[in-house]
């Protein structure tokens, strides 16, 4: 018998329905009490992450290629615009003062953020942006050699060779080519085209 100073020890209560009934009342799940649907949820998330990574690696428009040149075996969009005639002309001086607009043109060499060469490899043409502007991509990335660009501007008369070389930091061979062509593109805007 228990006294007031010494209480009777607690005895575990037995389930009147028995141990088999008590296990039936528990929620089904994995060990540790985590519901089974929770494991299924994470398996689906993991599968979606794998699929997203594969799409980015394989697709031409996948997220791995945004801002990077495409592999060389992938063809880009065709060059188009009113500037095609200027780039293909033997005498570019006859186009001085005319509007120039071209899309998806290859960038051959980048001299600076304001000066770069576009067009066919053997007869590329100089593009110059006014100093406060620079050639930027849609995502803020600068134009890179080997990429494509959209250029809008006016065909302008080439300055003397020494002035062009000093003003735009051109190599002597580039300044000579520019003097021979007699014209360059005074661009109002230029964008790098993601492929």
pLDDT tens-digit map of 110-149? 888 788 899 888 778 999 987 666 555 444 556 778 888 8
> pLDDT at position 2, please?
57
Q: Which residue has the tokens 């329905």?
A: 17
Which residue intervals of the chain are DSSP H helices? 19-25, 36-58, 84-88, 161-168, 172-181
How high is the mean pLDDT in each 10-residue block of the chain (195 residues)?
Answer: 64 59 52 75 92 72 54 65 86 91 89 86 85 54 77 92 90 90 89 71
pLDDT value for 72: 53
Q: Are strands 99-110 and 148-157 parallel, antiparallel or unpaired?
A: antiparallel
3-state SS of 40-66? HHHHHHHHHHHHHHHHHHHCCCCHHHC
Dist CA 126 CA 110 (whole Å): 10
Residue 183 to residue 179: CA distance in whole angstroms: 8
What is the model's pLDDT at position 10? 65
């Amino acid at each position: 018998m228990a006294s007031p100073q010494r209480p009777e020890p607690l005895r575990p209560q037995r389930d009147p329905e028995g141990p088999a009934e008590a296990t039936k009342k528990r929620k089904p799940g994995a060990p540790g009490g985590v519901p089974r649907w929770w494991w299924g949820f994470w398996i689906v998330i993991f599968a979606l992450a794998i699929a997203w990574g594969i799409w980015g690696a394989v697709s031409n428009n996948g997220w791995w290629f945004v801002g990077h040149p495409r592999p060389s075996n992938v063809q880009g969009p065709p060059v188009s615009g009113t500037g095609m005639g200027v780039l293909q002309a033997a005498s570019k001086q006859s186009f001085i003062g005319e509007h120039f607009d071209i899309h998806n043109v290859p960038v051959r060499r980048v001299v600076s953020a304001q000066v770069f060469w576009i067009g066919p490899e053997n007869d590329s043409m100089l593009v110059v942006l006014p100093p406060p502007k620079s050639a930027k991509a849609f995502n803020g990335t600068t134009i890179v050699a080997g990429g494509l660009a959209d250029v809008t501007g006016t065909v302008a008369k080439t300055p003397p060779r020494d002035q062009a070389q000093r003003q735009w930091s051109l190599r002597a061979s580039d300044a000579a080519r520019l003097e021979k062509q007699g014209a360059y593109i005074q661009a109002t805007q230029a964008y790098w085209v993601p492929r």
